[in-house]
Amino acid sequence: MSERNRLRSIFTLVQLNGIIPIRTTPLYIVNLLASPLSFLFFIYIVSHGTYVAYGITGGMVLTMLTVGTSVQSDLTHYRHDLKFQDVVVASPVEAPIYVAGMALSELVYSLPALGVFVVLFFLWGYASVTSLAVLAGVLVLVWSFASALGFTLATYFQDVRETFIFSPMISLLFTVLPPVYYPISALPGWAQVASRISPTTYAAGLVQGSVGLQPLSLSVALLDWGVLIGFTVALFVIAAVKARWKEP
Amino acid sequence: MVSAISSVRLGKTYPKAKAGARALSDLSLEIPTGRVYGLIGRNGAGKTTFIRIAATQLAATEGTVYVLGHDIRTEERTIRARIACVPQESRPLYFLNVEEVVYLYLKLRGLDPKDARRRTRDALDELSLTEYRRSLVSRLSGGLRRRAMCAMVLASDADVLFLDEPTTGLDPLARRQVWEAIRRASRENRTILLTTHYLDEAEALSSRLALIEAGQLRLEGSPADLRARVRYPYRVTIEGAFPREELESYGKVSEIEGGYLLFTREAEAREVARLALERGLRVSMGPVSLEDIFLDVVGKSIEEDAPLPDNEEDTTEVSA
């Protein structure tokens, strides 16, 4: 397959799984706006507005993670119930093209939510060249590792119902327990250490640091980027080696 | 003739299968280029396992398959560029309309939009789907969805088409339309590997057939070859009282409503038919059907399910 055809395949998947379903059922967008905005509202009420900035940055991270859980549930459904993955396997489309197309198509659903948070980000006065660059980099990495994780899991699930178990667990492990919606200092000492297992702790640290919510030294920033990039690369490697494009 | 698909001592044991439970065993087949080749067998016989291995969706445990001369173990990418597959029980994405199902599949394969549009239009016409082109898949009957899947693959540029029970759920007219499209694809020198439960379909479409039972090849050849290789290539139906013992001296007898069914050789069939007519009984005779051959070889009707090895096809447990 030529590079041009690969691009065509990716954009066809975006059209097929992103643009057309939204055209058919626009309520999908509302669904993806609901979770991050609910969290923001909850945080605003509980913290009396103190943590609203964390809610905005955390909302963006959650939105990108939601892409990954959507990749996971859609691909499981397509593989099992429609045999769509089998159709694609027996075609010139390679696994990385399929994942890239599907991950981009899920991003289409998330764009309105992301748009709302970016507007709030500007309104709260956090937008600067540095913060926007950091935000963009972090969100791309979170989107990438979440999609790779979603694809890998989807090739193992034996039933779409399994995704109903894993999706909330992933959200819990990556966005609720780690300090994505609040400062890491709000956690007790042991929990601060435990939260270092989650890559979103580093993602949130970078975003919160770039807008001045948390102190962020250059060495800590480099460490955070290193961990986040390393985690993303590791999940890509796991997806390449362990995902079941072809059934064993 | 050059083989489009060639399996060499192919074997498959699913990872979670009980000891000794094999989905395929020592299966060697030569599927000629530009023909329709039918795989017949009961549910769980191993047909889908064979198709999934040849279509590079499932790994073999032993042996290999060559598709267009390329080994599935080492040249998957080359093979995938030249094949297309309608998996068993597959359905189109329900939020697309029929035209999008075909057109987007072709674009996904890398066809340029103009060519994809032309092929889509032709395929929809051929399978009488044009009037449904703007209909959402979610609002279509199961038969129309299946036709859309067939249109998708038949419209493709693939040289080898794997069709796993493509006409299940279609009405007789729609089945004929799919048959015609399959024949046309074969006339274009494309190879079609077909599994079906409908033995009339297998016979009508296939230049050669393989009968698989319990993962093993039991009979292979053209429909005429298969007839020639069974013990009794003729069937005689007699309505009325004919002494069973007398009939049994000619071949294999079974009782049917109001009479007997005799499987025998041609000369004996003519003799029995003559005797029956002389006794004023209604009689009909002719070559055995594929259903008769199946029954003779397997000892069971094709409608009867075979026990599935663990993780075997025809279940929902399929993964990539």
Provide DSSP, B102-131.
HHHHHHHTT--HHHHHHHHHHHHHHTT-GG
pTM: 0.88
Distances (CA, A) of B70 to B57, B66, B80, B190: 15, 5, 10, 16
Using an 8 Å CB-CB cutoff, list chain B residues near A89: 55-57, 80, 320
A22, closest residue in chain B (CA to CA) = B95
What's the token pair of residue B3?
A: 């083989």
Has residue B173 been placed in a domain? Answer: yes
Q: Are residues B91 and B7 in the same domain?
A: yes
- For residue A128, give both structure tokens: 């600067």
Q: What is the DSSP letter of B288?
A: P
Q: Do B273 and B176 share a structural domain?
A: no
Q: Which of A17, A80, A86 sits opposite B85 (nearest CB)?
A: A86
Span B124-154, pLDDT tens digits: 999 999 999 999 999 999 889 999 999 999 9
Contacts with B23 from chain A: Cβ below 8 Å: none
Whether residue B127 sits in one domain with residue B154: yes
Most B CBs within 10 A among A86, A97, A163, hence the mutation to make, goes to: A86
Partner B contacted by A25 (CB < 8 A)? yes
The yes-or-no verdict on residue B295 having pLDDT over 90 is: no
Phi/psi-derived region of residue B319, left when phi > 0, alpha when psi is between -120 and 50, beta in every other case: beta
Judged by CB atoms closer than 8 Å, whether chains meet at B59 and A78 is answered as no
Confirm or reject contact between A17 and chain B (CB < 8 A): yes
Instruction: Using the structure block, give the residue that is written with the tokens 């051929």.
Output: B126
Strands B83-86 and B160-164: parallel
Tell me the two tokens of residue B247.
């009939």
- How far A236 CA sits from the closest chain B CA (Å)? 18
Judge whether B7 and B29 are in contact, CB under 8 Å.
yes
- For residue A167, the model assigns a pLDDT of 82
pLDDT at A139: 96
Give the distance from CA B13 to its chain's centroid: 22
Looking at residue A36, what is its pLDDT? Answer: 77
Evaluate whether B48 touches A90 at the Cβ level (below 8 Å).
no
Give a yes or no: residue A248 inside a domain. no
Q: What rounded mean pLDDT belongs to chain B?
A: 90
Burial (Cβ within 10 Å: 0-12, 13-18, ≥19) of residue B37: buried
Phi, psi of B43 (to 5 degrees): -55, 130
Contacts A246 to B, Cβ<8 Å? 56-59, 76, 320
* Domain match, B8 and B127 both: yes
Q: Which residues of B touch A154 (CB under 8 A)?
A: none
Beta-sheet pairing, B216-221 with B24-32:
unpaired
Residue B250 lies in a domain: yes
- Residue B237 placed within a domain: yes
List of chain A residues whose C-beta atoms are within 8 Å of the C-beta of residue B91? 81-83
Residues B112 and B258 in one domain: no
Quickly state the pLDDT bin for B319 (edges 50, 70, 90): very low
- As a whole number of Å, the CA-based R_g of chain B is 22
Is A33 part of any domain?
Answer: yes
Say how many domains are in chain A: 1
Residue A79 belongs to domain spanning: 3-242
Asked whether residue A23 is domain-assigned, the answer is yes
User: CB distance A16–B104 less than 8 Å?
Assistant: yes
Least Cα separation, residue A74 to chain B (angstroms): 11
Query: Count of CB contacts below 8 A, A vs B?
Result: 117
Look at residue B311 and tell me whether its pLDDT is greater than 60: no
Residue B318 has pLDDT above 50, yes or no: no
Question: Kind and range of the H or E element at A43?
Answer: helix A27-46
Best CA proximity match to A107, nearest among A153, A66, A136, A78: A66
pLDDT at B316 over 70: no
A91·B108 Cβ contact <8 A: yes
The CA-atom distances, in angstroms, between A235 and each of A136, A147, A149, A165, B260 are: 20, 9, 6, 20, 68
Give the tens place of pLDDT for each residue, B224-247.
888 888 888 899 999 988 899 999
The answer to whether A89 contacts B55, with C-beta atoms less than 8 Å apart, is yes
Measure A65 CA to nearest chain B CA, in Å: 24
Where do we find the tokens 């939020």? Answer: B95
Task: Determine, yes or no, domain membership for B63.
Answer: yes
CB neighbourhood size of B294 (10 A): 25
Which residue among A6, A8, A24 sits closest to B95, beta carbon to beta carbon? A24
The last residue of one of the domains, among B186, B209, B227, is: B227
Distance, CA of B73 to CA of B65 (rounded, Å):
8
Tell me, letter by letter, the H, E, C secondary structure of B148-178: HHHHHHHCCCCCEEEEECCCCCCCHHHHHHH
Give phi and psi for A26, each to the nearest 5.
-60, -20
User: Which chain A residues are Cβ-neighbours of B15 within 8 angstroms?
Assistant: 248
Q: Which two tokens stand for residue A24?
A: 């058919």
Q: In this structure, are residues B111 and B84 in contact, taking their beta carbons and an 8 Å threshold?
A: no
d(Cα B42, Cα B37) in Å, to the nearest integer? 17
Domain with B13 in it = 3-227
Average pLDDT, stretch B39-45? 90
Q: Are residues B30 and B168 in the same domain?
A: yes
How do beta strands B62-67 and B70-71 pair? antiparallel
Residue B128 lies in a domain: yes
The segments of chain A whose pLDDT lies below 70 read none
Contact A74, A102 (CB under 8 A): yes
Contact A246 B57 (CB under 8 A): yes
In chain B, what residues touch A1 (CB-CB under 8 Å)?
Answer: 81, 110
CA–CA dist B309, B23 (Å, integer): 6
Contact B162/A78, CB-based, under 8 Å?
A: no
Domain identity same for B101 and B240: no
Nearest to B116 by CA among B72, B152, B149, B79: B152
Q: What are phi and psi of B262, to 5 degrees?
A: -115, 130
- Residues B43, B164 within the same domain: yes
Decide: A179 and A201 in contact? Cβ < 8 Å: yes
Please provide residue B28's backbone torsions phi and psi, each rounded to the nearest 5 degrees: -115, 125
A204: tokens are 């949130």
**What CATH code is carried by the domain that includes residue B79?**
3.40.50.300
Tens of pLDDT along B78-118?
999 999 999 998 999 999 999 999 999 999 999 999 999 99
Select the residue of B81, B93, B317 nearest A82 (Cβ to Cβ): B93
**In terms of domains, do B140 and B254 share one?**
no
**A167 vs chain B: nearest CA distance in angstroms?**
20
Domain boundary among B209, B227, B245: B227
**CB within 8 Å: A247 and B89:** no
Share of chain B above pLDDT 70, in %: 94
Distance of CA A192 to the CA centre of its chain: 22
Number of domain units in chain B: 2
Check whether residue B247 and residue B222 sit in a common domain. no
Residue B298 has a pLDDT of: 78
Which residue among A15, A17, A247 sits closest to B319, beta carbon to beta carbon? A247
Integer angstrom CA distances of residue B263 from A57, B11, B232, B243? 80, 34, 5, 15
A162 touches chain B (CB under 8 A): no
A88-129 per-position pLDDT tens digit: 999 999 999 999 999 999 999 899 889 999 999 999 888 899
Is residue B10 a part of any domain in this protein? yes
**Separation of alpha carbons B123 and B108, rounded Å:** 17
Q: How far is CA B257 from CA B107, B243, B260, B290, in A?
A: 55, 15, 8, 21
- Does B90 sit within 8 Å of A84, measured CB to CB? yes
Tens digits of per-residue pLDDT, B14-37?
987 776 678 999 999 999 999 999
Contact B20/B74 with Cβ under 8 angstroms? Answer: no
Higher pLDDT, B297 or B315: B297
